[in-house]
Structure 1
Amino acid sequence: MPLCTLMFAIVAVLAAVGLSPAQAAATPLLTQPRCAGPAPSVDVFKAGGLPLADWRENLEFDGRGRLWVSHINNSQVEGYDASGRLVATIPVPSPGGIRRGVDGLMYVNFGIGPADALTGKPSGLMRFDSTLDRPTASVFATLPGGINGLAVDGAGNFYFGREFAPSVLKVRQDGSIDQAWTDAAGVFGTNGVTVLGSELYATVLVHPSSPVARVPLADPGAHATVADLSPLPVLPKGLDDLEARGDALYVTAFVSGELLRVDRATGRTCVLVSGLITPTSVRVPVGFGDADPARELFVTEASGRIVRVRT
């Protein structure tokens, strides 16, 4: 979830009822049961700073031993090794979603901050080669404003959430917009997006019931709701990015401070972790030291923290 007007509105609502974002994360807002089994362990991989000021927005593993994190307020992408050591920084204006492309390069949204929208600065997609000692990012595509989240399918196409637009945005491997697909994928107000096989999943930020949508890549008009994660009249959870692993979706809830597990087939939802501080994205570790992709997840927060969840 970028530093957008809606986020500040949510923070203002919390303040009006006497809650800081951190307090909201600690306040019982559970509308789903705890996930069965032993409680996961949560360890801090990278310490944070001042909440909402040290905002880490998204993360991705390059499969070569590096974790790449978009630090929206510092306008840079950070590279970490498995020990937590910062090994690289790459200037990127207001970076957001970050993913590895099918060509092995790293792709990252840029220009998603509120100042960019207000001043008319461009937004779009940049890319860099994470194998270089000192990687630099270059513009791959200039895109409409309001993009957020990033997913890549097996053919190399890119997908973006759009918080105040009527659909997910699809961009072809050559950087051109697939307008017909975009028009058909009519899910309004999406934030995080992820692709698993032939399906795209998206969180919806602007709807009070906090739905997660499924969009078939070959038939985007057949989109449907997988689950509503904030049954009314519960305070909206403020869904952010999500990840797919096996039969489950793992969804970050910015406002309620939760990491939720959603069964992709049935929509049944449980709370895997609560008490997080404004979580923004979640990824399965790939090729990252001794991290286990079958049992671990990494989560970024707007508090600046990066945490490791072991299930």
Structure 2
Amino acid sequence: MRRLRRPGSLLWPAALIALAGTAPVATADPAAAQPIASCAPALAATAVPAGIPMLDWSENVGYDVAGNLWVSRVYRNVVQRYDRSGALTATVPVDFPGAVRSGPDGLLYVVYGDTPTSLVSPGGVVRFDPTAADPKPEVFVSGVRTMPNGAAFDEDGYLYLGASLSGVIRVRPDGTIDTAWTDQAPKGSANGVVVRDRTLYVTTNGGPLGRILRIPIDAPGDVSVVADVSSPVAGVPDFTDDLIIDSAGILYVTTVFGQLVRVDPATGAACAVLSGEPMTSVVATPGQPDQLIAGTEGGAVLRIQLPR
């Protein structure tokens, strides 16, 4: 997620802090205030280097059906396609791009307007053919004034947007917003979104920072807390960004303190498998579930080998 101040300052936007009063009421684990524990370490290497650090901020990462990697360069207002060798093969203009997700129709869906200025110039979602030599984006969703960021599709083709200034938004397969569902979902900050077994897992940073929520798709008002992620510093919460869920149902969450945190949704147990530079996003490498790709605030894209 993009912040209003330089990322290293850890000064959060006033708008997000104010949302603490509107976040869902739920009970968190008191142990969350303790520094997060370490577990079996992962290994990280640079998959795609940053051209200009910070300017090349890699806000989100995702794969298309052909196995090409797409990276949202939020400060450059583009998404970029890289082939399996890491070569840049296409650049598509998208205003302040966020999540990059392959849709059930094989098209690539990209959130746009991931900026506080979406209050004035609304965001939404564009889509395009990711295999085209020169992809042309078309608007799929528009009019989202609450800083859309994360995204995930469910098995029925509904798209869920994590909006930093309002919560989770559900989009029907025809591109219209399901206001009845959205009105029932928790309000406040929402960032990364993943779906498994008719359940959404959402990172939030409104009250408190670093919270992961569980939202049943069929009962969006029945929200519960999975875990509160702490930083390596005692008493200091982390800022959770994107997340994925693996085939075993384990979450991997990226944070501003540079942690890749493993979370078991069944117990809330969390530990850091990697610590380093601030990470913005994460996706599994196709066909290699124990290998992840992560975006960073500096702009480099990391290849992460999970412990076996």
TM-score (norm 1): 0.85
Q: 2: distance between equivalents of 1:206 and 1:49?
A: 33
Structure 1 pair 102–73 and aligned structure 2 pair: CA distance change class (3 A): same
Q: Which residue of 2 aligns with 1:23?
A: none
Instruction: Please give the secondary structure, in 1, of the residue aligned with 2:182.
Output: helix
Q: Which residue of 1 aligns with 2:266?
A: 265
Q: Which residue of 2 aligns with 1:25?
A: none
Q: Quick check: 1:296 aligned with 2:291? A: yes
Deviation at 1:187, TM superposition (A): 4.5
Contact 2:293 2:302 in 1 (8 A): yes
Which AA in structure 1 matches 2:284?
A: V
Q: 1: distance between equivalents of 2:289 and 2:114?
A: 32
Structure 1 pair 13–101 and aligned structure 2 pair: CA distance change class (3 A): closer
Contact 1:154 1:197 in 2 (8 A): no
Q: Which residue of 2 aligns with 1:235?
A: 236
Q: Quick check: 1:195 aligned with 2:190? A: no
Residue by residue over 1:73-108, the C-alpha shift from the partner in whole angstroms, topping out at 9 and shown as x without a partner, is 111110011111101111111111110111111000
Which AA in structure 2 matches 1:205?
A: N
Q: Quick check: 1:309 aligned with 2:280? A: no
Deviation at 1:72, TM superposition (A): 0.6
Identity level (%): 38
Structure 1 pair 206–9 and aligned structure 2 pair: CA distance change class (3 A): farther
Deviation at 1:205, TM superposition (A): 1.6
Which AA in structure 2 matches 1:184?
A: Q
Residue by residue over 1:165-219, the C-alpha shift from the partner in whole angstroms, topping out at 9 and shown as x without a partner, is 2x31111111111111111111421111111231111001223351100111111
Residue by residue over 1:137-183, the C-alpha shift from the partner in whole angstroms, topping out at 9 and shown as x without a partner, is 11111032211111111111111112222x31111111111111111
Q: Which residue of 2 aligns with 1:153?
A: 154
- The unaligned stretches of length 5 or more in structure 1 are 16-28, 287-291
Deviation at 1:71, TM superposition (A): 0.6
Structure 1 pair 238–65 and aligned structure 2 pair: CA distance change class (3 A): same
Q: CA RMSD in A?
A: 2.1
Q: Which residue of 2 aligns with 1:31?
A: 35
Q: Which residue of 2 aligns with 1:281?
A: 281
Contact 2:230 2:237 in 1 (8 A): yes
Contact 1:125 1:143 in 2 (8 A): no
Deviation at 1:53, TM superposition (A): 2.4
Q: How does 1:55-66 map to 2 (within 5 A)?
A: 55-66=57-68
Contact 2:118 2:144 in 1 (8 A): no
How many matched pairs? 283
Contact 1:187 1:213 in 2 (8 A): no
Instruction: Please give the secondary structure, in 1, of the residue aligned with 2:135.
Output: coil
Q: Which residue of 2 aligns with 1:215?
A: 215
Which AA in structure 1 matches 2:38?
A: R
Q: How does 1:114-153 map to 2 (within 5 A)?
A: 114=116, 116-117=117-118, 120-145=120-145, 146-153=147-154
Q: Quick check: 1:106 aligned with 2:96? A: no
Q: 2: distance between equivalents of 1:132 and 1:209?
A: 40
Residue by residue over 1:16-62, the C-alpha shift from the partner in whole angstroms, topping out at 9 and shown as x without a partner, is xxxxxxxxxxxxx98222123xx322110011245432211001111
